[in-house]
Structures are given as structure tokens and as C-alpha cells.
Amino acid sequence: MNNLPLEIEHKFLIRIPDTEILRQQPKYKSEELLQIYLTLPADEQNPNGQRCRIRRHEGPDGVRYVKTIKQNVTHLTRIEVESEITAEEFRELMRYSSEGRSPIEKTRHSFVLDGFTYEVDIFPFWDDRGFLEVEVDSEEVVPPIPQFIKVIKNVTHDPRYRNSALSKEIITEDLQQT
């Protein structure tokens, strides 16, 4: 597995932080994302639970398109293969959009602190919560949570909080109960 492109990531449900505080963080950047989950054509179907998505990134450096194939290894670790695609390829792949799944739009705020890259995702369907994602080098590493981030709960192990799951059903749980 050492040769495979791995993504090891912790994910937290958070209260939406103050955007001005985010902008003040080192190496801050923001981009608008649109991601669409695909049903792979029959000749690309995979029995190993792979998921495929395409994503449009709009940021200060322009627009780029990425195709991602993920496969779970553990709750924290996934094999993740990403490749840049053209706008035309993105439009063509949209034909394979998974039935029953809506596109996910979000604003991603990212910054680097204490050697970790933090990504805060804010969605238009929630006005009180978002996600904090932090990639790490191994499953044993637990990243520190910045003081200005209010964690509601760790959702790393909860598949309901995957973006692919949210594309099927938005979680509307009462945060007073958590």
C-alpha cells in the first residue's frame, strides 16, 4: 500500500467560524467548489467500492477541473487518485451523474497552521455548521484544532457526513442535542 496515493484525513462537524479570522491565517486561500458524484460506465465499474466524482474549482488562480476516484481502506484512510481534466471532459462526465444525488456546492477556506493544512468547508444548505478537514501523514497523528474553531463533534467515522452521502440527503439534526 506504500506506493498507492493515500489520503488520511480527520473530519469534524464545526460551527461556522468567523470568515475574517480565517482570512488572517497563514497561507489562506478560498475557492468555490462544485462536485458531482458519478455512476461509472459499465466498463469502469469496480467491485471494490470505488467512488468517482468530478469537481470544478473556482479560485483566485482561475478555474480548474479534477476527476477523483476514491476507495476506502479504513475510516481515516482512502486511496485517492486525482487527475486534472478539461472543461469539456467535465461537461461530458456530467452525463454520468449518479441518479438520486444532487451536486454539492461549497466554499472551501484553507490555511496552514502548526504544519497542518486545514480545510473549512461551508455549504449553502447549512447556516450554522460546516466541516473542518485535516490531512495527516499517518492514522496515529491527531491534529490540533485551532482555537478559533468550535468543534461540534468528530465525524471521521460517521459515513452520513461524507459529501457523497450529503449529495443524497442533507443532515438536519438539531445541534442543541449534540
Q: How far is CA 3 from the centre of its chain?
A: 23
- Long-range interactions of 44-48: CB distance < 8 A, separation 24+: 46/71
Backbone angles phi, psi at 115, to 5 degrees: 85, 0
Chain segment 42-57, per-residue pLDDT in tens: 545 555 667 899 999 9
Task: Write the Ramachandran bin of 96: left for phi over 0, alpha for psi from -120 to 50, otherwise beta.
Answer: alpha
Write down the pLDDT at residue 118.
98
Domains contained in the chain, CATH given: 6-169 (2.40.320.10)
Angle, CA 68 vertex, CA 64 and CA 71 arms, to 5°: 165
Q: How many residues make up the chain in this entry?
A: 178
Write down the pLDDT at residue 125.
96
Chain segment 107-151, per-residue pLDDT in tens: 999 999 999 999 999 999 999 999 999 999 999 999 999 999 999
